[in-house]
Amino acid sequence: MEQRIKIAIIGGGPAGLAAALGAYESGIKAEDILIIERDSCLGGILNQCIHAGFGLHRFGEELTGPEYAERYIKKVREADIGFITDAMVLALNDNKDITYISPTTGIVHLKAEAVILAMGCRERTRGALNIPGTRPAGIYTAGTAQRFVNIEGYMPGKEVVILGSGDIGLIMARRMTLEGAKVKAVCELMPYSSGLARNIAQCLDDFQIPLMLSHTVVKIHGKERVTGVTIAEVDSSLKPIPDTYKYISCDTLMLSVGLIPENEVSKGADIEIDRVTNGAVVDNFRQTSKSGIFACGNVLHVHDLVDFVSMESELAGRSAAKYVTEGFSGENKSDTVPKGGVRYVVPQKYYGSSIDEKTEFFYRVGKNYRNVSLNVLADGTLILKKKLVRAAPGEMGNISLKGEALDKARKASNLVFTIEEGENV
């Protein structure tokens, strides 16, 4: 089947939904937008994130994942924006030709004027960590376990050790405990947690679950089902220290060891990928290296808060709308440069003009900081200084340029983002 559409959005999770609404609110007709979702319902991973904590920035109240998703799904339905579920994109090229497959439509060749990538991310697995030992049942990524508990209503384990202190791991520590499991420890390879401080407090401390920093799992035991793990402390080069090996009996090892943007489809369109974020290189419109292909949400860079996913995706939706209606002017793009403690900045490039009054930049730092400042330099001149009481690798920061600073930034050929420590802060 051949199909044409103005804006195709790959993914119907929080990013795809917000992008669709962003495009719609910019004047694109509902029937000119199509969301392609691979699951059987919209909402993406939010459906299984039944804990509260979503929406404080976006809605000024604390919602659960399904509630947050439902607000967007409702708007999409009310606007009558097109979507198809159980549909998986098999291919995308730089000409914005999409091939997708679904039980109801079969194979569809969709020609889009603009494409928004909103595929989200996936979890890192045991394979990528190369944990030695046996290969029994009972090793789950935190997200898989979360799906079993919160969507399917089944218990994946009774005595649990969690490796990695990412937010999903922390949330699952509490969730499993509430459902009657015993969470024996959360091991974190790094000397700091990559999860939010509040999640350590309310998910671990509340239930006296030990967080073992600078610890990792060095071996998995059990022939058919996990019977235990050996953990060890690691040294400053993250190598296990031999005489710290300790056996913990458990039936489940849960992994929360990082998320990877799911860019397999993007690669088909030969989109430039940032080696730090593992997502596309984008400009401030969230346009990728391929004209008319946009990216937003966790497929672009892994966020901690869905609120920022929504904000970013609405922007991508508005940008796509602008692209299909009036096009982008051919101004030169300049680079944003992460330096001195800043690991990455998104967007990586920016136009001198913007569709918004302000331009928002997202960044992550490489280690824990206290009382520092984030400095933004336009062609070497300081244009903005933001004080940070704390900055941590697990917490994505955002900084917006507006007014005079934005004017200066617009004229510059590069924008450097850097952390400043010491007295002058």
Partner 1 sequence: MKKTFTCVVCPIGCELHIEFDPEDISPEQIKVSGNSCPRGEKYAKSEIVNPERTLTSTVKLNSKILPVLPVKTDKPISKDKIFDAMHIINGLIVSAPVNAGNVICKDFINKGVNLVACRTVSE
Partner 2 sequence: MIYDVVIIGAGVTGTLLARELTKYKLNICFIDKGPDAANAASRANSGIVHAGFDAKSGSLKAKLNVRGCKMMKRITEELCVGYRNIPSLVLCFSESDRAALNELYERGIKNGVPDLRIVERDELVKLEPNISDKAIAALYAPSAGIVSPYELCIAAGENAVQNGASYIFNYEVKSITENDGIYIVSDGNSNVSARYIVAACGIHCDDIAAMSGDLDFEIIPRKGEYMLFDKSCAGCVRNVLFPLPTKNGKGVLVAPTADGNLIIGPNANVSEKDDTETTACGLNEIYENAVKLVKTLPSLKNVITSFAGQRPTPSTGDFIIKFSAKYKKMLHIAGIESPGLASSPAVAEYAVQLLSQAGLILEPNIKFNPYRKKLIKIRELSDDEKQKYISKNPAYGKIICRCESITEGEIVDAIQRPMGATTIDGVKRRTRAGMGRCQGGFCMPRVTEILSRELKKDMSDIRKYGQDSILLYGKTK
Interface residue list for partner 2 (CB under 8 A): 38, 86, 88, 90, 99, 101-107, 109, 122-123, 125-128, 130, 132-138, 141, 143-144, 147-149, 151-158, 179, 218-219, 223-225, 264
Rounded distance between C-alpha atoms, residue 294 and residue 114, angstroms: 8
202 counts as binding partner 1 under rule CB under 8 A: yes
Q: Which does 25 bind (CB under 5 to 8 A by kind): partner 1, partner 2, none?
A: none
Q: Which does 201 bind (CB under 5 to 8 A by kind): partner 2, partner 1, none?
A: partner 1
Report the residue number, 269 or 324, with the smaller CB distance to partner 2: 269
86 counts as binding partner 1 under rule CB under 8 A: no
CB 418 to partner 2: min, Å? 28
Radius of gyration of the chain measured on its C-alpha atoms: 22
Rounded distance between C-alpha atoms, residue 374 and residue 425, angstroms: 9
DSSP state of 234: B
With the C-alpha atoms ordered 54, 30, 19, 400, is the resulting torsion angle positive or negative?
negative
Report the residue number, 86 or 94, with the smaller CB distance to partner 1: 86
Rounded to 5°, the CA angle 389-195-368 comes to 40
CB 104 to partner 2: min, Å? 7
Report the residue number, 200 or 250, with the smaller CB distance to partner 1: 200
213 counts as binding partner 1 under rule CB under 8 A: no
| E strand segments, 297-358 | 333-339, 342-346, 349-351
CB 196 to partner 1: min, Å? 5
12 counts as binding partner 1 under rule CB under 8 A: no
Tallying the residues shown for the chain, one arrives at: 425
Report the residue number, 107 or 178, with the smaller CB distance to partner 1: 178
For partner 1, what does the binding mask look like between residues 383 and 422, x meaning CB under 8 A?
------x-----x---------------------------
For partner 1, what does the binding mask look like between residues 282 and 311, x meaning CB under 8 A?
----------------------xx------
Q: Which does 90 bind (CB under 5 to 8 A by kind): partner 1, partner 2, none?
A: partner 2
Report the residue number, 52 or 101, with the smaller CB distance to partner 1: 52
Rounded distance between C-alpha atoms, residue 375 and residue 341, angstroms: 11
Asked whether the beta carbons of 100 and 90 are under 8 A apart, the reply is yes
Number of Cβ atoms within 10 Å of the Cβ of 392: 20
CB 99 to partner 2: min, Å? 7
Residue 287 makes CB contacts below 8 A (sequence gap 6+) with 293, 294, 319, 323, 328
Rounded distance between C-alpha atoms, residue 291 and residue 270, angstroms: 12
Site for partner 1 in 159-198 (CB under 8 A): 178-179, 196-198
56 counts as binding partner 1 under rule CB under 8 A: yes
53 counts as binding partner 1 under rule CB under 8 A: yes
349: left (phi over 0), alpha (psi -120 to 50) or beta: beta
Interface region with partner 1, contact rule CB under 8 A, candidates 44-52, 134-142, 257-265, 411-419: 44-52
Asked whether the beta carbons of 18 and 124 are under 8 A apart, the reply is no
| E strand segments, 156-297 | 159-163, 182-188, 211-213, 215-221, 228-233, 246-249, 252-255, 259-261, 293-295
Assigned token pair, 204:
């671990």
Report the residue number, 14 or 341, with the smaller CB distance to partner 2: 14
Rounded to 5°, the CA angle 310-90-290 comes to 60
Element of type H or E holding 169:
helix 167-178
Rounded distance between C-alpha atoms, residue 120 and residue 399, angstroms: 23
Asked whether the beta carbons of 10 and 34 are under 8 A apart, the reply is no
SS3 303: coil
CB 58 to partner 1: min, Å? 12
Q: Which does 91 bind (CB under 5 to 8 A by kind): partner 1, partner 2, none?
A: none
Report the residue number, 103 or 127, with the smaller CB distance to partner 1: 103
Report the residue number, 396 or 406, with the smaller CB distance to partner 1: 396
Report the residue number, 304 or 356, with the smaller CB distance to partner 1: 304
Report the residue number, 23 or 131, with the smaller CB distance to partner 2: 131
CB 74 to partner 1: min, Å? 9
Site for partner 1 in 309-328 (CB under 8 A): none
Q: By CB under 8 A, name the binding residues for partner 1.
A: 47, 50-53, 56, 62, 64-67, 70, 149-153, 178-179, 196-198, 200-202, 205-206, 304-305, 389, 395
